[in-house]
Amino acid sequence: MSPRSAISTARRLVVKVGSSSLTGADGGIDSGRLIALVNALAHRHAQGTQIVLVSSGAIAAGIHPLGLAARPRDLATQQAAASVGQGALLAAYTHAFGAHAVTVGQVLLTADDVTRRSHYANARRTLERLLDLSVLPIVNENDTVATSEIRFGDNDRLAALVAHLIDADALVLLSDVDALYDGPPSRVGTTRIPVVSGPDDLVGVEIGGSGSKVGTGGMTTKIEAARIATAAGVVTTVTAADRVTDVLAGGDVGTVFLPVGVRGRSRRLWLEHATTARGRLLVDDGAVAALVHRKKSLLPAGIVGVEGTFHDGDPVDVCGPDGAAVARGLVNYSSSELPGLLGRSTKELARELGPEYEREVIHRDDLVIL
C-alpha cells in the first residue's frame, strides 16, 4: 500500500488545521475557509471514517470581538482572546458541521492533564466514546487556563500526541503551505519534498518559522510533530488546507512522512514530549543503571542532589553523574521534602517516618528513558 493511500483508506484520522488556514487577510476567522474544510471532512465522515479535528484559531477568533488590531503577544491577553474566540470558533464549527448532520464535541486539553495517569486514561476514554457515538471531536489546547510552564504552545505536537492517544491510522497537518520545501517557500527556486522516509531526508533542508501573522511554530513544529507521530507508527502528511480533498483522497500532494517506529500506546510518549521539567534529580551510577538497564523505579538511596522547586506529581529530569538527563518522570515528593530522604533506604524511611515513605521517588510507570 502506498503511503498516500494509507490516508484514503484510514478508518481513523486526526486532522489538524492551523490558524493561518482559518483566517482572512484581516486576521479574524474566515468563515468561507472554515466551511470549505468542514465540507471536506463531513464528506469523509459520511463514508464512515472516524475523524478527530485538532483546530487552532481560538486566539485569532478573539481578535475582532475584543477590538484588537493583531494577535496579542502577552500571555494574559492571548488567554483572554482564546476565551472569547474558542466559543466563537466552536459555534462556527457546530453550525457548519450541523449542515451535514454531523455532531461535534469540544475537547480542551492541557499537557498537565494528559501526562498524569488518571487523566490520560480519562482523555482516551472520552475520545473513544465520542467516536463510538459518531461525534466528531474538535480538540484544542485549553489556552485559557494553561500557564506558560504547562503549555504545549503549538497544536502540531498536540495533534501528533492525540493521533497516538487514539491509535489513529494517519495524521494530516493542514497549513497555509502546500508541502515541506527544501527551503523557505517564499524563496525562488525551492522545491517540494514529496516523501520523507527518515531523518536523513531532512539533512540540508532549511526549516523556518511561521510565515503568517497568526501562526506559531512554522515548519519546525510540524517536523517535530511528524517525528513524534511517525516514531509511534503513524503516517503523517503536511499540506495546505485548500488541498484537503486531494490529500484525503490519497492524491500526490504535500509531503508524506513515513512511519519509522511501531504502533503502540503509551503515556510515556506524552511524558517525553508534552512536559517541561520543573527540576532535576542528580543520581549516582548505580541508579542510572537501575533505571536505564533494569527498568526499575527511582528510590531515594540513589539520589545525591535535588535542583529546582517542584511539587509532588510534577515532571522532573533525572540526571546522571555527568549532568546529562537520562530520564524524565513524575516525582512523588516535593523539592522541600526530598532532600531529607536522600541516600536512605525505603525500609529505614518507612520505619522512621511512616509507611507512606516506602514509596518510590519516581515509579517506573511514570518514567520515560530519554
Ligand X SMILES: N[C@@H](CCC(=O)OP(=O)(O)O)C(=O)O
Binding site members for ATP: 16, 175-176, 216-222
Cβ within 8 Å of residue 167, ≥6 positions away: 12, 263, 265
Instruction: Provide the annotated binding site for substrate.
Output: 56, 143, 155
Site string for ligand X, 284-323 (x = CB under 6 A): ----------------------------------------
Stretch that binds ligand X, among 109-117, 126-134, 214-222, 281-289 (CB under 6 A): 214-222
Stretch that binds ligand ADP, among 90-98, 206-214, 257-265, 291-299 (CB under 6 A): 206-214
Alpha-carbon radius of gyration of the chain: 22
CB contact at 8 A, 155 and 18: yes
The nearer residue to ligand ADP, 241 or 361, going by C-beta atoms, is 241
Closest among 34, 31, 140, 138 to 78, alpha carbons compared: 140
The nearer residue to ligand X, 160 or 290, going by C-beta atoms, is 160
Euclidean distance between CA atoms 233 and 313, whole angstroms: 29
* 251 touches ligand ADP (CB under 6 A): no
* 194 touches ligand ADP (CB under 6 A): no
Burial zone of 224 (CB within 10 Å; 0-12 exposed, 13-18 middle, 19+ buried): middle
Euclidean distance between CA atoms 274 and 134, whole angstroms: 28
Taking CB under 6 A as the criterion, which residues in 155-184 touch ligand ADP?
A: 175-177, 180-181, 183-184
- Taking phi over 0 as left and psi of -120 to 50 as alpha, with beta for the rest, 365 belongs to alpha
Which residues contact ligand ADP (rule: CB under 6 A)?
A: 18-21, 175-177, 180-181, 183-185, 206-208, 210-212, 215-219
Which residues contact ligand X (rule: CB under 6 A)?
A: 18-20, 56-60, 82, 140-141, 143, 154-155, 215-217
